[in-house]
Amino acid sequence: MSDFSYISYLSDGALLKKVGGFIKSRRIEQNLTQDEVAERAAISRSTLSLLERGENIALTNLLKILRVLDALYVLEHFQEVKPISPMQLAKEDEAKWKRASKSKKSPPKDDLGW
């Protein structure tokens, strides 16, 4: 079970409050005022204030704020994971475990192999 499984049980409002709390704590950690973050993100201070209180804002504004706070890393889980076929996985695994071996020289043509 994932450590984050509790999140699926939260309401949308509770999730918005969590996001707002995260944004506020990042802003305070960086010793920035709401006005400073809003100006750098090219949004109004009231939009930032709404987010920090757990209100709904446009996704593009959230992205701007995350960028200003150097917190875009939270979006890493949104990467598309393409499934790997079992055959492809086996081939990749086999390639990892190949060992170095002595090169086999072909015997001279006149060698009878004794």
**pLDDT tens, residue order, the chain (114 aa):** 455 578 889 999 999 999 999 999 999 999 999 999 999 999 999 999 999 999 999 999 999 999 999 999 999 988 888 887 888 877 877 777 666 666 666 666 666 666
Q: Confirm whether 85 is domain-assigned.
A: no
The DSSP code for 59 is H
pTM: 0.67
Q: How many domains does the chain contain in total?
A: 1
Query: What is the reported pLDDT for 98?
Result: 64
Q: Confirm whether 12 is domain-assigned.
A: yes
What's the Cα-to-Cα distance from 50 to each of 27, 65, 102, rounded to whole Å? 14, 12, 68
User: Which structural domain range is residue 61 located in?
Assistant: 8-78
**How far, rounded to the nearest angstrom, does the alpha carbon of residue 109 sit from its chain's CA centroid?**
60
